[in-house]
Amino acid sequence: MPKDAALEALFANKEPSVRLIYEEVLSSLAKVGPVRTEAKKTSIHLVRETAFAGVHPKKAWLDLTIRSEKPIKSARVRAQEQVSKNRWHQDVRLASQKDVDAEVVGWLKSAYALAGA
């Protein structure tokens, strides 16, 4: 499957707002530095030198998994998993473009920095 087809397949049968949320995430990251996207079967990896976030399109929202050095203490974090001594995955649900706010962008900036270290 061509790269663009894989990306489009992830947004097929989803509310149009889900794609807009994804575009808002990418737009916010464009101000941070270059980001490569890698469409997988069920998600999109956001990559600097290594993956620093995962985008999981759902029917009416977008689930975002963010890498971090320690747990993020926020009511917005729906799930956390420690994947190694100094790496955590945090899951955040984004239901609208407004959810891609300064807090989420700050978490993404930190994850981006980790992916270049």
Tokens 């649900």, located at residue: 93
- Sequential pLDDT tens for the chain (117 residues): 455 888 999 999 999 999 999 999 999 999 999 999 999 999 999 999 999 999 999 999 999 999 999 999 999 999 999 999 989 999 999 999 999 999 999 999 999 999 985
Total domains in the fold of the chain: 1
Full residue range of the structural domain in which residue 20 is found = 3-114
CA distances from residue 35 to 60, 80, 86 in whole angstroms, order as listed: 25, 24, 23
CATH of the domain at 93: 3.90.1150
Q: In this structure, what DSSP letter does residue 98 have?
A: G
User: pTM score, two decimals?
Assistant: 0.92
- The structure tokens listed for 3 are 């790269």
